Amino acid sequence: MAMNVMDGNVVTNNKLTLPAVVDAENPGALPCGVVDDDDDLSQRANWLRAAVLGANDGLVSTASLMLGVGAVKADARAMVISGFAGLLAGACSMAIGEFVSVCSQRDVELAQLDRDGKRGGQEEKALPSPVQAAAASALAFSVGALVPLLAAGFIRDYRLRVGVVIALATATLAAFGCVGAVLGRAPVVRSCARVVFGGWVAMGVTFGLMRLFKATGI
């Protein structure tokens, strides 16, 4: 293998290889122009995990709300209207909360960039967008909330409607648990069981308490 050195560059088999530029203050940093694929994959996984959690929240809260209303009133229209109201309220709440949270985080990081004299550079462009975060959170919540809504919207029989909502919510929660486990590199069975059990508790408590209110006439 022929190797020559020309002006600091290395020529190997007639191929010119540029030397890596190393940051003297941070020897562990990547060379200029090199993007860490692991960091990019980690960021995408975090976004997807957040989306799964948002959809999980939408599913559990909306299904619990619909079952709670169904425990008092067997009318399908009442369940669907309550679920749709829960979807709108929850999506708005999630969006506003995420917007405020990301804005606060962005203000802190911008202040740090000002102190470091790096304002207006690539670091500022890489900061998360509050609007995008809010939209993603609202969308994820809405997707999860649509599952029980679609399950109950076309079934007239009360018992069948409640059973279908619970069954479909359980299956979807199990899927969310699997995705979250894969992204977090956690045991799949344990994660699925935890997510499903938590959903059952929320739906069961809501349904049971509303049944109690109906029975006692409160």
Distance CA 209, CA 203 (A): 10
SS (H, E, C) 150-193: HHHCCCCCHHHHHHHHHHHHHHHHHHHHHHHHHHHCCCHHHHHH
| 10 in any annotated domain | no
| 2 in any annotated domain | no
The phi-psi region of residue 13 (left if phi > 0; otherwise alpha if psi is between -120 and 50; otherwise beta) is: left
Query: How many structural domains comprise the chain?
Result: 1
Taken in order 146, 55, 83, 87, is the CA torsion positive or negative?
negative
Beta bridge partners of 3: 12
Distance CA 99, CA 94 (A): 8
Burial of 44 from C-beta contacts in 10 A (0-12 / 13-18 / 19+): exposed
| 63 in any annotated domain | yes
pLDDT bucket at 46, cuts 50 / 70 / 90: low
**pLDDT tens digits, one per residue of 121-150:** 777 788 888 898 889 899 999 999 999 998
| 161 in any annotated domain | yes
| 64 in any annotated domain | yes
pLDDT bucket at 63, cuts 50 / 70 / 90: very high
Distance CA 193, CA 147 (A): 19
Q: Which domain holds residue 204?
A: 49-213
| 113 in any annotated domain | yes
| 21 in any annotated domain | no
| 204 in any annotated domain | yes
Q: For residue 151, give the nearest of 160, 141, 164, 140 by alpha carbon.
A: 164
Q: What's the pTM?
A: 0.74
Distance CA 141, CA 143 (A): 6
Residue range 165-194: average pLDDT? Answer: 88
